[in-house]
Amino acid sequence: MNFTLDKIFAGVIDFFAILLPGSLLAFFLQGRVESYLFGDGKLFSSIPGTYESVVFIVAAFILGHLVDSIGAWLLDKYYYDKGAREYYNKNFDLTYLTALEIKNEYLRNEQLKERIFDNNEVLRKLYEKHVEDSEKGNQKQVSGSAGIMKVFFRKMEVRKNVEKAIQNPAPATNREHFKNNRKIEIINTYQWTKRVLLLSQPEALAEVNRLEADQKFFRSLVIATIIIAVILIAEGAVDSHLERLLEAAAFLILSFFSLMQFGKYRFRNTERAYQFLIAMKHGAETKK
C-alpha cells in the first residue's frame, strides 16, 4: 500500500513540477524553432502527423526537467535559503528546530559521522583535501577579486569564519570539524520527516506532497516565464515590436507573482511536514 501511494505522490509532483511548466515552454517555442530543426536538410526529418503529440510530450518532459533543475539550483539555494525564508518565517524557526531535535534523538548525526570518519581512511583523505582546497579557493577568491567584489568576498569570508567559530569554537582536527559541520548530514530533516511519514502516516504525507507539488510548480513556472520574457524582449528589440515588449512585461509580472507563491508554498510545505512529526512525537502524551 505504501509503495503504491509513494508512486502516486511522485507522479503528482512530476506532473506539476515538470510536465505543466515544460508544456508551457514547449508550446511557446514550438512555432519558433520547428522550422529550424525539422524538415529536409535540417537536424531532424519532418514529423509525421501521428507522432506530433509524442514529440511534444517528449519536448515538454525535457524542458520541464531543465527548468526544474535550474529552479532547484537558483531559487532554492540563492533565493529562498539565503533570504526569503526569513521573510516567511515568523516563528524564529522553532518548528524546524523542534523537528531537528526529534530527528537527532533517533538519528545521532554527529556520533555516526564521527564513527564513520574514524573507520574510513578514504573518507578522511577526501575530506582533508576538501578542506585544503576550500581554504585555497577562499584565498584565491579574495585576492583575485577587485573593487566591490573584493569587499563582498571579504565580508563573506568573515561571516563564514564567525559562523564556524560559533558552531565549533575550537576545531582542533579535521575529525572534529567534519563531525560538527552542519552542512554535512546523513539525511536532512525534511527528507527524514517524509520517510517517517511514509512508514507510519501516509495520509499526512499526502498533504505534505500536495504542498510540495504546488511549490515546485511555481518554482518551475518562475524559470519558464523568465525564459519566455527574455525571448520576447530579444524579439521586440530586434524587430522593434512594442507588442512583444508588452507581452514580455506581462510574463515578468506573472513570474513575480509565481515567485511569491513559490516562497509561500515552500514554507508551508516544510512547516506542515515538521508539524506532523511533532504531533506524532508528542501525540501519545497529549492523549494521556
Q: List pLDDT tens digits, range 223-245.
A: 999 999 999 999 888 777 788 88
Report the predicted TM-score, pTM, of the whole model to 2 decimal places: 0.73
Q: Are residues 145 and 18 in the same domain?
A: no
| Domain edge (last residue) among 185, 201, 236 | 185
Q: Are residues 122 and 219 in the same domain?
A: no
Q: Are residues 18 and 48 in the same domain?
A: yes
Whether pLDDT at 43 is above 70: no
Average pLDDT over residues 203-218: 90
Whether pLDDT at 8 is above 90: no
Q: Are residues 45 and 71 in the same domain?
A: yes
Q: Are residues 192 and 243 in the same domain?
A: yes
Q: Are residues 283 and 232 in the same domain?
A: yes
Q: Are residues 8 and 98 in the same domain?
A: yes
Place of cell 575529525: 175
- What is residue 270's predicted lDDT score, i.e. its pLDDT? 92
Q: Are residues 32 and 141 in the same domain?
A: no
> Distance between CA atoms of 187 and 196, rounded to whole angstroms?
12
Average pLDDT over residues 147-154: 48
Angle CA 264–84–187, to nearest 5: 85
Q: Are residues 256 and 170 in the same domain?
A: no
- What is residue 117's predicted lDDT score, i.e. its pLDDT? 82
Q: Note the Cα 119 to chain centre separation in Å.
A: 32
Average pLDDT over residues 26-37: 78
Whether pLDDT at 131 is above 70: yes
| Domain edge (last residue) among 185, 219, 253 | 185
Q: Are residues 126 and 96 in the same domain?
A: no
Q: Are residues 6 and 119 in the same domain?
A: no
Whether pLDDT at 193 is above 90: yes
The pairs formed by 53-58 with CB atoms below 8 angstroms and a separation of 24 or more are: 56/23, 56/26, 56/27, 56/30
Q: Note the Cα 94 to chain centre separation in Å.
A: 22
Q: What domain range is 135 assigned to? A: 109-185
Q: How many distinct structural domains can be found in the chain?
A: 2
Q: Are residues 249 and 129 in the same domain?
A: no
Whether pLDDT at 101 is above 60: yes
Q: Confidence class of residue 152 from pLDDT cuts 50, 70 and 90?
A: very low
